[in-house]
Amino acid sequence: MTHQNLLVELFVEELPPKALKKLGDVFASQLCAQLRTLGLASADSVATPFASPRRLAAHITHVAAKAADKAVQQKLMPVSVGLDAHGLATPALLKKLQALGADVSDPVFAVAALRKAPDGKAEALFYDSLVTGATLDVGLQQALVATLAQLPIPKMMSYQLETNCELPGWSSVNFVRPVHGLLALHGSTVVPVTLLGLNSCNQTQGHRFEASMSPVMVAHADDYAATLLRDGAVIASFGDRRFAIVQQLAQAAERLGPGFEVLMDDALLDEVTALVERPNVLTCAFETQFLDVPQECLILTMKANQKYFPLVDTQGRLTHQFLVVSNISPADASAVIGGNERVVRPRLADAKFFHDQDCKKTLESRVAGLDKVVYHNKLGTQGQRMARVCAITRALASQLGGEALAGRAQLAARLAKTDLLTDMVGEFPELQGIMGGYYARHDGLGADIAEAIEDHYKPRFAGDALPRNPVGVAVALADKLETLVGMFGIGNLPTGDKDPFALRRHALGVIRMLVEKDMPLGLNALLNAAAHEFKGMVGFEMGRAVVELEEFVYDRLAGSLREQGYSALEVDAVLALRPQRLGDVPRRLAAVRAFNALAEAPALAAANKRISNILKKADVAAAVDAHVSELLLQEAAEKALYAAMQDITPRAQAQFNAGDYTAALQTLAALRAPVDAFFDGVMVNAEALDLRLNRLGLLKTLHLAMNQVADLSRLAA
């Protein structure tokens, strides 16, 4: 059987740049998977994607010219159904065989060709046949049709193709962009397939302006990339083209001097890679007067609108030079450079105009305008929302830093959303908060207010920095709590992968601030304080807001801790107690981990689990309290346990009160021996009620003492 490498290319009009990489990857992987299903590609076949602005292609290794024939065994029906009393075929059997394409002209011969075999308790008839393997031309045709149906096309396009000369007319074709060529090579042989109204061939087109020939003839599937580069001036591989851009950007910055650094994020690199076929990086510049505008505005307009790469100096300050990735490489690039400089100038001028206009009004003067901006139809306007945030902020800040901090934090909260009404944020919503910080400095409000306004959205994503100062922490925490409580109170909970209000992200932000800043605030008290600001609002359910949201926060915290490397048992043991001060959680986890490493840990965890079960099942559980009468202690083991507790638990309690959770648990570990002896020598459920209650009281006292840091019973295997 002949095996060769296969190359398939669709030559199209310019593909959507943000979707190109994914389209190329899926085209190659799906085509290979379809060929494997048909037996034309093996498990060892490797699919290499190619994607440029005007082509999707796949190179697949070890593809057979014809799939191997395959023996197929089909169960037909039970013998009792397929054969009558004389062993002849029943009408049902003949109908089934006919549907399978078997020759039923001679029923006796047809029955003789079947095989009987046990099938459970009965015997069944089986039909064995040999299915001829698909040839590559037939199989590739099927695979291409199936692959195109699987492509993640963002928006389908419908266009018309002329049918043929003999029967003039037009047919409608649907694809992401009009397709003008189909290349299919198995080794050096063209595979005859038809797709989207096109017949396959061994030629394609190169660069619009710089190809050395048109069309570009591809002699062999393995020569595709090299031929396109040599004759078509196209780097077909998305990855190779991206690497070339990164290299050229770095070299261009290096030529300018050691103090230049390129701002190149992955999304911009991918998009620019999808816009050019053979990249050529050029250095451009704009007038230095534009550097008076906040650099975030200039950087965003250059990257988002023009797909340019800004250059910054060693201090991270924007320079007036920037880099452009051109799709052509003329001998004299001055016209290309000049054109790009002319194009960017109006964008920068717009940014300067927006900034200058915004600076004519103070943030304070914009506060009233928030009452005209709808936040949510059930939760009111942005003005009403920020009034709630101000109240929550003041309450938090008073606890954290007294009246001085409360006043500054309330002012920052009052102004935090006013930049939503500025022209700059209206043009670039990504700059909300950032522009508010700049305008606060312009208004002379102080660095703490400016930083708080800029930071109150933080942390915006995993790994993002927290607010820089106490004012910003108070405002950011209040803002997130208001959002969470409000949305939970009206029933807007996240479901599955849908979280339109980013409530999971807000919850993680609250957790990070409470934990990493080690804030002396209780979670339930925080939620109740925030919920109080919604009191009397129609459709708001305060009970649901607090109860369901508290559980949601602990779920988010548990997931975050597991991602940080803590075991599920450790996390479960600590969070089972629902610690209100989340800043304590890391210390509790460290204590549990240290306790778990002790030799006494397994026995004490098992004993805790046993005590929990005893207390739950006690028929006098309601009458059990943590009280022990020495006069009712009869057995030596219970007296020894009580004596040990009198010595050990006060020391452990003092360590717990001091926040030394590790020491507290290690001190309690000394109770292992008396606890083991108690369970070996004492009948807890004594017949005498007073003895039973006293022993249960002893166990409850022990249980309370041992489970202040974590529920140790959760550590039991």
| DSSP secondary structure string for all residues of 240-265 | HHHHHHHHHHHHHHHHH-TT-EE---
Give mean pLDDT, residues 376-401: 95
Cis geometry, peptide bond prior to residue 178 (ω within 30 degrees of 0): no
Question: pLDDT band at 168, cuts 50/70/90?
Answer: low
Q: What are phi and psi of 306, to 5 degrees?
A: -110, -10
Name 415's bridge partners.
none
pLDDT at residue 106 above 90? no
394-435 pLDDT, tens digit per residue, is 999 999 999 999 999 999 999 999 999 999 999 999 999 999
User: DSSP readout, 566-589?
Assistant: --HHHHHHHHTT--S-GGGHHHHH
DSSP state of 135: B
- Report residue 492 as tokens: 């807007």
Task: Give me the chain's average pLDDT, please.
Answer: 91
Domain residue ranges in the chain: 3-67+135-232, 70-131, 238-358, 373-565, 586-715
For Cα atoms 587, 593, 598, give the angle at the middle one, nearest 5 degrees.
Answer: 130
pLDDT at residue 575 above 80? yes
Residue in the block written with tokens 């440029």: 52
| Alpha carbon distance 468, 446 (integer Å) | 14
- Report residue 468 as tokens: 């820089």
pLDDT of 687: 83
| Alpha carbon distance 532, 394 (integer Å) | 14
pLDDT of 450: 97
Residue in the block written with tokens 């991270």: 316
| Alpha carbon distance 393, 599 (integer Å) | 47
pLDDT of 619: 55
- Report residue 542 as tokens: 């305060």
> Which range among 215-219, 572-576, 621-625 shows the weakest confidence by mean pLDDT?
621-625
pLDDT at residue 6 above 90? yes
Which comes out higher in pLDDT, residue 276 or 164? 276
Which residues have C-beta within 8 Å of that of residue 252, sequence separation ≥ 6?
Answer: 262, 281, 282, 283, 323
pLDDT of 628: 87
pLDDT at residue 1 above 80? no
pLDDT over 90, % of the chain: 72
Element (H, E) at 319: strand 318-326
Nearest to 418 by CA among 394, 439, 442: 439
pLDDT at residue 181 above 70? yes
CATH architecture for residues 373-565 = Orthogonal Bundle (1.10)
DSSP state of 277: S
| Alpha carbon distance 121, 369 (integer Å) | 81
DSSP state of 327: S
Which residues have C-beta within 8 Å of that of residue 576, sequence separation ≥ 6?
Answer: 710, 711, 714
Question: Which CATH topology does 3-67+135-232 take?
Answer: Alpha-Beta Plaits (3.30.70)
| Alpha carbon distance 588, 593 (integer Å) | 9
Question: pLDDT band at 163, cuts 50/70/90?
Answer: low
DSSP state of 301: I
Hey, how many other C-beta atoms are within 10 angstroms of the C-beta on 435? 26
Which comes out higher in pLDDT, residue 88 or 449? 449
pLDDT of 94: 84
pLDDT of 111: 75
For residue 623, the Cα-to-chain-centroid distance in whole angstroms is 50
CA dihedral in degrees (665, 670, 671, 672; nearest 10)? Answer: 100
Give mean pLDDT, residues 157-166: 72
Q: Is the dihedral of CA 346, 351, 356, 360 positive or negative?
A: positive
Question: Which CATH topology does 586-715 take?
Answer: Isoleucyl-tRNA Synthetase; Domain 1 (1.10.730)
Question: pLDDT band at 162, cuts 50/70/90?
Answer: low
pLDDT of 91: 87
Residue in the block written with tokens 């022209």: 423
pLDDT of 549: 95
230 residue type, one letter: R
Q: What are phi and psi of 422, to 5 degrees?
A: -85, 160
632-672 pLDDT, tens digit per residue, is 888 899 899 999 999 999 999 999 999 999 999 999 999 99
Give mean pLDDT, residues 379-391: 96
Which comes out higher in pLDDT, residue 622 or 79? 79
Using a cut of 0.85, tell me whether the model's pTM lies above it.
no
- Report residue 321 as tokens: 């030079």
pLDDT of 47: 96
| Alpha carbon distance 486, 549 (integer Å) | 10
Give mean pLDDT, residues 160-168: 61
Q: Given phi > 0 = left and psi -120 to 50 = alpha, else beta, which region is 612?
A: alpha
pLDDT at residue 103 above 90? no
Contact 97, 127 (CB under 8 A): yes
pLDDT of 116: 85
